Chains A and B, each alone.
Chain A
Amino acid sequence: MRVLVVEDEKRLAQNVADGLRQGAGYAVDVAEDGEVGLFMAESNEYDLVVLDLMLPRLAGPVLLERYRKSGHETPVLILTARDDKPSIINLLNGGADDYLSKPFDLGELLARSKALVRRGKGKPQPVLIVGDLEINWADRTVKRAGKRVDLAPMEYRVLEYLASRSRAVVSKTELLEHLYDYNWEKFGNVIEVYISGLRKKIDSNSRTKLIHTLRGHGYALRVEATAGLDR
């Protein structure tokens, strides 16, 4: 998952970004003013936007309005120092999905971010189940047939994204887009390395394969009736 944090206070942006990276395993981009924030939000695929309200150059509410007008459906979490009800109501009516008042609790920020990402993917359950595979979004653990599977952080992120789009075919580009932040050099074969690692840990000990490769299209995490398409 990839998150955009639009916050002009450098230290706060850094803490929020670190929290999201360490606590949720998300890729995080930071924009320090509204104009850059809007540009980044519109030119990349994000799974969540964390938006401060008082921003230089372009105020948060205006950014939100323009972002929604251009048709983006990514959930937006507002960070606000104003907790007066009318402004919160205006924000939610204006397309925000949730808000947190400053000073906020980092744990709460993480929990809300995860919930927003889940709901944004149409998966409100905290534990995603594909066949006998269980993925717990809250504590980032994975079980196959009731047995815990230990994954490297990047492997977990790939699996989490595939699970969030379960049954759909996810292209390599989409995976790169959602798993790496702006500063990362994007090489397609990196994904192949993680997919093969995941296969070893999840599918090797089981008769039913869950991770499928569709050549030239991408990957899918699903239970398939016929194993013909596999590999």
Chain B
Amino acid sequence: MNGSLRKQIIVAVLVSQLLLAIGLTLAIVLYSRAQLLSAFNIMLEGRVDTVLAVVHDAEDARKTLIVDPQRLNSPAGDLVEVWDENGSLIWRSPNWSGAPAAVMAGNASTFELDREHGPYRGVVVRKATVFDEEDDPANPLRKVTIVYAASTRELDRHILKIGIFATGASSLLLCLAGFFASYGVSKGLSPMQELAKAAAGVSIRNWSFSPPQEARTKRELAPLVSALEATIATLQRAFDRERESTADAAHELKTAVAILKSSLQLLSYQPRSIDDYQKGLDHALEDCDRLEALVCGTLSLARAQQWAEEGKADDIQSVDLVNSCEQSVANLRALAESRSVELRCLANYDNECLVRASSADLKTVWVNLLQNAIQHSPPGSTVSLRVSASDPDNALIAVEDTGTGIPAEHLPHVFERFRRGDPSRSRATGGFGLGLSICRAIVEAYDGHIEIESTDGAGTRVLVSLPILTKVSSLGMALPKARIFPA
């Protein structure tokens, strides 16, 4: 990981603040400079007026204008030139060699100069001298051009000072703002960090997830917290269930192997008669068959569940439900007779009732349910399979017995793998507790529903509902999810 949200946000805030500070400093400096320059220009113009005041008539024949430097009291470093309207120099301050020609030729009223003492700024003013009308009533106005420049060193120093102050002040503010930004961002992000830490602590070994209370109350984080909580809880349940059923499967498989192994070891423990060996081998073969049945059942269930989850679509044909039920009942007639149980198949359908499913899968369901019912029925009782329409879209198949029933405390678990309604009894019938799990996986894979009702000692009823494929809507109907158990 080479990125940090906190760092990114702080850097973004600081950069924007830095830009703001630079802009503000520049604005202050530029504005101050403009203000100072305009004040400087006004000052220069004032000084031009004082020069103009000392221009006077020489009182000679040619009416020459002269400047009396004795009366001029402008500051020592300033540069002054006075020209008359014919373009001849009247007076020039001694510290100057004259304004550059470009200044004189141009129309600009201000100019800048670089001299060895530093930068100068000057103005060029064309103005009329005003004399007493009594002195020369014929020609009261004589125009002169005054060029006046003064050093801007002081001015520049001033601007520099303002610049330094502005920069210092904004740097200080920037530091403060940066500190507050980093504090604020850290504080603002801390619920998120805590949440991330809490989430990182969750693992298969440790499911406890305790998000910080603050994260729960933040509008941006609250949905994340509840989503995480729900996901973790679901995952934990799934893991626990998976672990349990894996342990159950392992127990069953290991037990089956243990039986076979101990049978063989017992047989080889001491010399025996041929008859005993034969009996022992038969036992071992029975154990093998049991193991095989267990492995096949476990695999079938795993496949059914996997296909049901993945929704594997296949070319599923339509099957006549009543026909499929009748065939299954016929297959089990011999078993029922051997236990003196009457087997009935009642179809309450006028037309044929089609469902979209594999006929092998459906038969697996009916045979499993009927076998369970027969095994748990007392001799002389009746097991019935009824097919009826529960509503226009669904067919209802009920398998009923009047047998031993299932105790209420076992009822919620009968569809779980390796569960037996009454364990010792089912062991005696050789079941693994896989039949009902397989039934449910198949029925659900065909978008159906299976449930069980039982009264302890009075009998059991298993209800299966399956969506019907009616002829009218068959083409437009959505395909059921899976085809299981290829024949």
Contact = CB atoms under 8 A, between A and B. Distances in A.
A and B bind: yes
Interface of A: 8-12, 15-16, 18-19, 22-23, 32-33, 54, 56-57, 79, 81-82, 101-107, 109
Given A15-B259, A16-B262, A18-B266, A82 B427 contact: no
Q: Which 6 A-B pairs have the closest CB atoms?
A: A56-B423, A106-B265, A103-B258, A15-B262, A81-B251, A102-B254
B247 interface: yes
Contacts of A19: 262, 265-266, 269
* Residue in A15, A19, A23, A32 with the greatest tally of chain B CB atoms within 10 Å: A15
B18 to A, nearest CB: 59
Contacts of A12: 255, 258-259, 262
Given A12-B255, A12-B259, A102-B254, A107 B424 contact: no
Interface string B418-454: 0010111001100000000000000000000000000
Contact of A81 (B250, B263, B269): B250
Nearest to B257: A103
Contacts of B250: 81-82
A8 B259 CA distance: 12
Contacts of B286: 11
Contacts of A56: 420, 422-424, 427
B259 A105 contact: no
A82 B247 contact: yes
Contact of B257 (A10, A33, A102, A109): A102
Contacts, number: 78
A8 B261 contact: no
Given A8-B424, A22-B270, A33-B424, A82 B265 contact: no
Contacts of B254: 81, 101-103
B287 interface: yes
Contact of B255 (A102, A105, A106, A109): A102
Given A12-B259, A106-B269, 14 more contacts: A8-B423, A9-B255, A10-B427, A11-B259, A56-B420, A56-B427, A57-B423, A101-B254, A102-B255, A103-B254, A103-B257, A103-B260, A105-B265, A106-B265
Contacts of A10: 427-428
B227 to A, nearest CB: 32
Given A56-B423, A106-B261, A81 B266 contact: no
A54 B251 contact: yes
A15 B263 contact: yes
A82 B265 CA distance: 22
B262 A106 contact: yes
A107 B420 CA distance: 32
Interface residues of B, number: 26
A16 B261 CA distance: 11
Nearest to B249: A81
A226 B257 CA distance: 57
B263 A11 contact: yes
Most chain A CB neighbours (cut-off 10 Å) among B260, B263, B287, B422:
B263
Contact of B424 (A11, A32, A79): A32
Given A11-B259, A81-B254, A106 B424 contact: no
Contacts of A18: 266
Nearest to B290: A11
Contacts of B266: 15, 18-19, 22, 106
30 contacts: A8-B427, A10-B428, A11-B283, A11-B287, A11-B290, A12-B259, A16-B262, A19-B266, A19-B269, A22-B266, A22-B269, A23-B269, A32-B427, A33-B423, A54-B251, A56-B422, A56-B423, A56-B427, A57-B424, A79-B258, A82-B247, A101-B254, A102-B251, A102-B255, A103-B255, A103-B258, A103-B261, A104-B261, A106-B261, A109-B262
A15 B262 CA distance: 6
B6 to A, nearest CB: 41
A218 B270 CA distance: 35
Interface string B230-261: 00000000000000000100110011011111
Interface in B260-315: 260-263, 265-266, 269-270, 283, 286-287, 290
A42 B153 CA distance: 114
A23 B270 CA distance: 9
Contacts of A8: 423-424, 427
